[in-house]
Amino acid sequence: MLAVFVASLAACGSTPKTTAQQPAPITVAAQSSVTPPKNTVKVKKKSPLLLLETNWEDTLPPEEEADFSPTSLFVEEALAHLGVRYKYGGNSPDNGFDCSGLVVFVSEKAMGLKLPRRAEEIARFGQKVSTDDLQPGDLVFYNTLRRQYSHVGIYVGDGKFIHAPSSGGVVRVERMEVGYWKKRFNGARRLSSLLASS
């Protein structure tokens, strides 16, 4: 049995062009009674036209459903600002962000929510969430200035959050399990509950 491996199929997801072009190179390999790999194309031996037998739909990746929920857009918008410099009182990508400036900017842009400017004021909004129930888009609060809710970030999933850390830093993603953050954690709030009630 002959198997034909078409090298150009892996990168092609569009309709083939109908203009006369040089055919793509193919490799033909002799096979024993072993079942050919999934991406191979079987060629009928005696066919003058080399009719190809395959189920092309099996070779295409499954379509993924896009998530356009407000919280996913919130996380995506926050991640779009990775690397923006920290600036105390900053509230835009052009001037820089402090922790609450990032959260206020992203929540308004992605979800249309106008939040207060300070982390401890933001901590009064939304629904309280336990650490075990964290979902991407939840706000996470920390005691970094010897007072509760003095720092805020956005949970992005997998035990990580994005935030604008401090002078000299940039917007970045960090693990919540790092000792510094773990011992300063104050709690979390879910803003999507504000969207449901409006």
The residue segments making up the domain with residue 179 are 70-197
* CB within 8 Å of 13: residues ≥ 6 apart: 60
Instruction: Report the DSSP beta bridge partners of residue 152.
Output: 141
- Say which of 86, 91, 101, 163 is annotated catalytic: 163
Phi, psi of 70 (to 5 degrees): -55, -40
For residues 10 and 89, state if they share a domain: no
Tokens of 122: 């933001």
- Among 51-55, 61-65, 88-92, which stretch is predicted with the lowest mean pLDDT? 51-55
Residue 68's pLDDT band, with cuts at 50, 70 and 90, is low
81 is catalytic: no
Instruction: Give the chain's mean pLDDT.
Output: 76
Cα separation, 17 vs 114, in Å, equals 50
Q: What percent of the chain has pLDDT over 70?
A: 64
Whether pLDDT at 58 is above 60: no
Whether pLDDT at 132 is above 70: yes
Indicate whether 64 belongs to any domain. Answer: no
- Say which of 90, 144, 149, 151 is annotated catalytic: 151
Indicate whether 141 belongs to any domain. Answer: yes
| Number of domains observed in the structure of the chain | 2
H or E element, residue 96? strand 96-97
Tokens of 112: 């249309």
Whether pLDDT at 136 is above 60: yes
Cα separation, 104 vs 113, in Å, equals 8
- Say which of 99, 115, 123, 191 is annotated catalytic: 99
For residues 97 and 177, state if they share a domain: yes
Q: Taking a C-beta distance cutoff of 8 angstroms, is the pair 123, 152 a contact?
A: yes
Whether pLDDT at 181 is above 90: yes
Indicate whether 65 belongs to any domain. Answer: no
For residues 25 and 111, state if they share a domain: no
For residues 81 and 157, state if they share a domain: yes
Residue 16's pLDDT band, with cuts at 50, 70 and 90, is very low
Q: 76-126 pLDDT, tens per residue?
A: 999 999 999 999 999 999 999 999 999 999 999 999 999 999 999 999 999
Instruction: Give mean pLDDT, residues 150-166.
Output: 97
12 is catalytic: no
pTM over 0.85: no
99 is catalytic: yes
Q: In 150-162, which positions are buried (b, 16+ CB within 10 angstroms) versus exposed (e)?
A: bbbbbbbeeebbb
* CB within 8 Å of 8: residues ≥ 6 apart: 24
Residue 133's pLDDT band, with cuts at 50, 70 and 90, is very high
